[in-house]
Structure 1
Amino acid sequence: MSVLLLATLVLTVGFAHPGLAADLANGEKIFNANCAACHVGGTNLVMRTKTLKLEALKKYNMDSLDAIMNQIEYGKNSMPAFGARFSDRQIADVASYVLEQAKSGW
Protein backbone atom coordinates (compact mmCIF):
# COMPACT_ATOMS: atom_id res chain seq x y z
CA MET A 1 0.00 0.00 0.00
CA SER A 2 2.82 2.46 0.79
CA VAL A 3 4.34 1.84 -2.65
CA LEU A 4 1.04 2.77 -4.27
CA LEU A 5 0.82 5.89 -2.10
CA LEU A 6 4.37 6.88 -3.01
CA ALA A 7 3.72 6.32 -6.73
CA THR A 8 0.57 8.43 -6.51
CA LEU A 9 2.47 11.19 -4.72
CA VAL A 10 5.26 11.19 -7.32
CA LEU A 11 2.78 11.35 -10.19
CA THR A 12 0.72 14.07 -8.50
CA VAL A 13 3.76 16.22 -7.72
CA GLY A 14 5.03 15.77 -11.27
CA PHE A 15 1.76 17.00 -12.74
CA ALA A 16 1.16 19.63 -10.07
CA HIS A 17 4.40 21.42 -10.91
CA PRO A 18 4.13 22.17 -14.61
CA GLY A 19 7.77 23.30 -14.76
CA LEU A 20 8.89 19.68 -14.60
CA ALA A 21 9.76 18.02 -17.89
CA ALA A 22 8.62 20.94 -20.00
CA ASP A 23 8.29 20.46 -23.73
CA LEU A 24 10.63 23.16 -25.05
CA ALA A 25 9.75 22.43 -28.67
CA ASN A 26 6.08 22.99 -27.89
CA GLY A 27 6.99 26.13 -25.95
CA GLU A 28 8.90 27.45 -28.94
CA LYS A 29 5.99 26.69 -31.28
CA ILE A 30 3.50 28.50 -29.02
CA PHE A 31 5.91 31.40 -28.47
CA ASN A 32 6.48 31.86 -32.20
CA ALA A 33 2.75 31.78 -32.93
CA ASN A 34 1.62 34.07 -30.10
CA CYS A 35 4.49 36.01 -28.55
CA ALA A 36 7.15 36.64 -31.18
CA ALA A 37 5.26 39.59 -32.71
CA CYS A 38 6.17 41.63 -29.62
CA HIS A 39 9.11 39.58 -28.32
CA VAL A 40 11.08 38.55 -31.40
CA GLY A 41 14.54 37.38 -30.38
CA GLY A 42 13.81 38.17 -26.73
CA THR A 43 13.18 41.85 -27.35
CA ASN A 44 10.13 43.83 -26.31
CA LEU A 45 8.74 46.04 -29.05
CA VAL A 46 6.17 47.66 -26.73
CA MET A 47 8.27 48.38 -23.61
CA ARG A 48 11.82 48.33 -24.91
CA THR A 49 13.58 48.10 -21.52
CA LYS A 50 11.54 45.11 -20.36
CA THR A 51 13.01 42.51 -22.67
CA LEU A 52 13.17 38.76 -22.19
CA LYS A 53 16.95 38.91 -21.89
CA LEU A 54 18.29 37.40 -18.67
CA GLU A 55 19.61 40.72 -17.36
CA ALA A 56 16.19 42.36 -17.69
CA LEU A 57 14.39 39.35 -16.25
CA LYS A 58 16.68 39.51 -13.21
CA LYS A 59 16.28 43.29 -12.88
CA TYR A 60 12.48 42.99 -12.78
CA ASN A 61 12.41 39.79 -10.65
CA MET A 62 11.08 37.78 -13.58
CA ASP A 63 13.89 35.22 -13.77
CA SER A 64 11.95 32.23 -12.44
CA LEU A 65 9.47 29.85 -14.02
CA ASP A 66 6.78 30.88 -11.55
CA ALA A 67 7.18 34.59 -12.33
CA ILE A 68 7.15 34.03 -16.09
CA MET A 69 4.18 31.67 -15.87
CA ASN A 70 2.27 34.24 -13.81
CA GLN A 71 3.01 36.94 -16.40
CA ILE A 72 1.81 34.69 -19.24
CA GLU A 73 -1.32 33.64 -17.40
CA TYR A 74 -2.43 37.01 -16.03
CA GLY A 75 -0.64 39.54 -18.24
CA LYS A 76 0.50 42.96 -17.01
CA ASN A 77 0.56 46.47 -18.42
CA SER A 78 0.50 46.14 -22.22
CA MET A 79 0.84 42.36 -22.21
CA PRO A 80 -2.47 40.54 -22.46
CA ALA A 81 -3.38 37.60 -20.25
CA PHE A 82 -3.17 34.21 -21.94
CA GLY A 83 -4.64 32.14 -19.08
CA ALA A 84 -7.96 31.68 -20.83
CA ARG A 85 -6.29 30.79 -24.11
CA PHE A 86 -3.49 28.45 -22.99
CA SER A 87 -3.63 25.37 -20.78
CA ASP A 88 -1.42 25.16 -17.68
CA ARG A 89 0.85 22.79 -19.64
CA GLN A 90 1.17 25.28 -22.53
CA ILE A 91 1.95 28.12 -20.13
CA ALA A 92 4.63 25.99 -18.47
CA ASP A 93 6.11 25.06 -21.86
CA VAL A 94 6.28 28.69 -23.01
CA ALA A 95 7.73 29.86 -19.69
CA SER A 96 10.36 27.11 -19.78
CA TYR A 97 11.24 28.02 -23.36
CA VAL A 98 11.56 31.74 -22.48
CA LEU A 99 13.76 31.04 -19.46
CA GLU A 100 15.94 28.60 -21.40
CA GLN A 101 16.36 31.10 -24.24
CA ALA A 102 17.18 33.89 -21.79
CA LYS A 103 19.85 31.75 -20.14
CA SER A 104 21.37 30.90 -23.52
CA GLY A 105 21.32 34.50 -24.78
CA TRP A 106 18.45 34.20 -27.25
Structure 2
Amino acid sequence: MNAPNELRLLPWTGPEDKPCYLSTDDPDGYMSRLADNIEAIQLGTASALLEESSEALDNQDTSPGEMRCLAKELTGALRDVYRVATSRGHRRATSDPRESAY
Protein backbone atom coordinates (compact mmCIF):
# COMPACT_ATOMS: atom_id res chain seq x y z
CA MET A 1 0.00 0.00 0.00
CA ASN A 2 1.26 3.45 -0.81
CA ALA A 3 1.49 5.98 1.96
CA PRO A 4 -1.01 8.81 1.55
CA ASN A 5 0.02 11.17 -1.25
CA GLU A 6 2.72 8.76 -2.49
CA LEU A 7 2.84 8.22 -6.22
CA ARG A 8 3.23 4.78 -7.79
CA LEU A 9 5.49 4.53 -10.82
CA LEU A 10 3.41 2.72 -13.43
CA PRO A 11 4.85 -0.02 -15.66
CA TRP A 12 4.33 1.97 -18.84
CA THR A 13 5.43 5.34 -20.12
CA GLY A 14 3.52 8.28 -21.49
CA PRO A 15 4.15 10.62 -24.38
CA GLU A 16 7.79 11.19 -25.18
CA ASP A 17 8.66 8.13 -23.08
CA LYS A 18 8.07 10.04 -19.84
CA PRO A 19 7.18 8.11 -16.66
CA CYS A 20 3.55 7.77 -15.61
CA TYR A 21 2.47 7.82 -11.98
CA LEU A 22 -0.66 6.81 -10.10
CA SER A 23 -1.90 8.60 -7.01
CA THR A 24 -4.20 6.36 -4.97
CA ASP A 25 -4.53 4.83 -1.55
CA ASP A 26 -6.52 1.88 -2.94
CA PRO A 27 -4.21 -1.01 -3.88
CA ASP A 28 -7.27 -2.91 -5.14
CA GLY A 29 -8.54 -0.13 -7.40
CA TYR A 30 -8.86 -0.60 -11.14
CA MET A 31 -5.64 1.22 -12.09
CA SER A 32 -3.63 -0.52 -9.36
CA ARG A 33 -4.84 -3.92 -10.52
CA LEU A 34 -4.17 -3.00 -14.15
CA ALA A 35 -0.62 -1.96 -13.25
CA ASP A 36 -0.13 -5.20 -11.27
CA ASN A 37 -1.32 -7.28 -14.24
CA ILE A 38 0.92 -5.45 -16.70
CA GLU A 39 3.90 -5.88 -14.36
CA ALA A 40 3.19 -9.62 -14.24
CA ILE A 41 3.07 -9.77 -18.05
CA GLN A 42 6.31 -7.81 -18.34
CA LEU A 43 8.08 -10.10 -15.86
CA GLY A 44 6.78 -13.16 -17.70
CA THR A 45 8.01 -11.78 -21.02
CA ALA A 46 11.44 -11.13 -19.52
CA SER A 47 11.58 -14.69 -18.21
CA ALA A 48 10.70 -16.13 -21.62
CA LEU A 49 13.28 -13.92 -23.33
CA LEU A 50 15.94 -15.01 -20.85
CA GLU A 51 15.28 -18.63 -21.76
CA GLU A 52 15.25 -17.81 -25.48
CA SER A 53 18.52 -15.90 -25.23
CA SER A 54 20.22 -18.80 -23.43
CA GLU A 55 19.17 -21.13 -26.22
CA ALA A 56 20.29 -18.66 -28.91
CA LEU A 57 23.71 -18.27 -27.30
CA ASP A 58 24.14 -22.04 -27.14
CA ASN A 59 23.13 -22.44 -30.81
CA GLN A 60 26.06 -21.91 -33.18
CA ASP A 61 23.61 -21.43 -36.07
CA THR A 62 22.01 -18.28 -34.60
CA SER A 63 22.56 -15.52 -37.14
CA PRO A 64 23.83 -12.04 -36.31
CA GLY A 65 20.46 -10.66 -37.37
CA GLU A 66 18.64 -12.95 -34.96
CA MET A 67 21.04 -11.94 -32.19
CA ARG A 68 20.46 -8.23 -32.90
CA CYS A 69 16.69 -8.75 -32.77
CA LEU A 70 17.01 -10.70 -29.53
CA ALA A 71 19.28 -8.01 -28.04
CA LYS A 72 16.68 -5.37 -28.91
CA GLU A 73 13.90 -7.41 -27.27
CA LEU A 74 16.08 -8.05 -24.21
CA THR A 75 16.82 -4.33 -23.91
CA GLY A 76 13.10 -3.55 -23.85
CA ALA A 77 12.44 -6.30 -21.32
CA LEU A 78 15.28 -5.11 -19.11
CA ARG A 79 13.88 -1.57 -19.23
CA ASP A 80 10.46 -2.91 -18.15
CA VAL A 81 11.88 -5.07 -15.36
CA TYR A 82 13.98 -2.15 -14.10
CA ARG A 83 10.86 0.04 -13.99
CA VAL A 84 8.95 -2.67 -12.07
CA ALA A 85 11.84 -3.07 -9.60
CA THR A 86 12.10 0.69 -9.12
CA SER A 87 8.37 0.99 -8.51
CA ARG A 88 8.24 -1.93 -6.09
CA GLY A 89 11.35 -0.76 -4.25
CA HIS A 90 9.89 2.70 -3.82
CA ARG A 91 6.55 1.33 -2.61
CA ARG A 92 8.34 -0.99 -0.16
CA ALA A 93 10.47 1.88 1.18
CA THR A 94 7.41 4.07 1.78
CA SER A 95 5.18 1.37 3.29
CA ASP A 96 4.69 0.81 6.99
CA PRO A 97 7.39 -1.65 8.17
CA ARG A 98 4.75 -3.42 10.28
CA GLU A 99 2.98 -4.38 7.02
CA SER A 100 6.08 -6.17 5.74
CA ALA A 101 5.75 -9.86 4.90
CA TYR A 102 8.93 -10.60 6.88
TM-score normalized by the length of structure 2: 0.27
Q: Give the structure with the higher percent strand.
A: 2
Highest Rg: 1 or 2? 2
TM-score normalized by the length of structure 1: 0.27
